[in-house]
Amino acid sequence: MRDAAKSEMDAGGAAAPRSVINISSTTGTHGNAGQANYAAAKAAVVGLTKTVAKEWGQFNIRANAIAFGLIDTRLTRPKEGGESITVGGQAVKLGIPGADSMRQLAEMAAPLRRIGSARDAAGAVLFFASEWSSFVTGQVLEVNGGTYM
């Protein structure tokens, strides 16, 4: 992205607006017991996002991150549901063991009283990809139903 923008500027024009959208997690912004490795990785995404925003802004490139809370996907549904993928000829079960109770607690903790959907997640990405966020860079948008306020 940066090289393409530099080429446009070297040719005497303005760099076309570009946007980097990184995906993080509320675990990276707030921590979560038992997930030190995951929290560290997702916090690193936030640091990378802010650094890229500072370094690449001069090339008309925005960088933002989205920190999702619990979003309903095949990986966050109960493992007992039976969904799986095949890796190297082996079936690998997807999901979280006993996720029903965790999901119920998450619904009760969120002021919106629900778990996020793929559509909710896509809306946040669409916002950062659109002109509506043309003056937003270096930010982390938490999409979590209000769980962390």
Please give the positions annotated as active site. Answer: 38
Scan for tokens 């962390």, then name that residue: 148
In this structure, the number of other CB atoms found within 10 A of the CB of residue 70 comes to 22
Q: How far, in Å, are 17, 46, 62, 78, 115 from residue 102 at the CA level?
A: 41, 26, 35, 9, 11
Contacts for 129 with CB less than 8 Å, ≥ 6 apart? 19, 21
